[in-house]
Amino acid sequence: MLIMFDCDGVLVDSEIIAAQVDSEHLAEIGFKITPEDVIRRFVGLTSDGIAEIIQAEIGKPLPPEFLAEQDAELNRRLAAEVEAVPGVLEMLDILEGPRCVCSNSSTERLRLTMERTGIWDKFAPNIWSAGEVGDRRTKPDPNVYIYGMEQFRCAPRDAIVVEDSVFGVTAAHAAGARVIGFTGGQHAWVGLADLLTAAGAETVTNKLSDIPKIVEAFAVWDGIDS
């Protein structure tokens, strides 16, 4: 089986940092929103996707420099603060078989966070940004997961995705993969597991140490079904 991971909020604990930066920068233009509400509304979307929603709500374009300044600040904070999700290195040492990363983040940001946390070499070169591969559509579009399956010549039923957001689970489910929802990041909130299940996750865990056992169970279930 091919194991496909989202990055932010699954492998690196970056979503809480991104939410803080978004909240601070949006406040500067008069859009008041807490980091908690940023997470509930926007986790899993790209900066451009979030900007489209904000612009529609305020009825005018964001300042021309807004996204560039926000991205620069986020990169600075991530470079100084981001940590791996607890247990990620131990999980990767146990997990057998092919694996990859399929993310909405840019390759530049993926390298920044994954190198800082010591996991880039655990996946390279199979690390893909949705906006840079296939038809360049980002999650919730299934593009990046379909692309990843194609690179491994893997049938959708033989792919398992680990995702922490409704948008990500929606993308993976639409690609035909089986989905494990993950709620072990600092940004997770009460009720997230139910939302991931409703979006298509077959099971949900808050511990990366559970992933190898769940993958093994999926393989057993497939054997029973066949």
Q: Which domains does the chain have, with CATH numbers?
A: 2-13+83-225 (3.40.50.1000), 15-81 (1.10.150.240)
Quote the pTM value: 0.93
**C-alpha to C-alpha distance for 64 and 86, rounded to whole angstroms:** 38
Rounded (5°) CA angle 58-51-35:
90
Residue-level pLDDT at 53: 93
Helical spans, DSSP H, in the chain: 15-28, 35-42, 47-58, 66-81, 88-94, 107-116, 120-123, 143-152, 166-174, 192-199, 211-225
Instruction: Write down the mean pLDDT value for the chain.
Output: 95
Q: What is the pLDDT of residue 194?
A: 98
pLDDT given at position 223: 60
Q: Over range 3-20, report the average pLDDT.
A: 97
What was the pLDDT predicted at 224? 47
Segment 53-72, tens digit of pLDDT: 999 999 999 999 999 999 99
* pLDDT band at 44; cut points 50, 70, 90: confident
Contact 211, 163 (CB under 8 A): no
Q: Enter the tokens of residue 136.
A: 């360049």
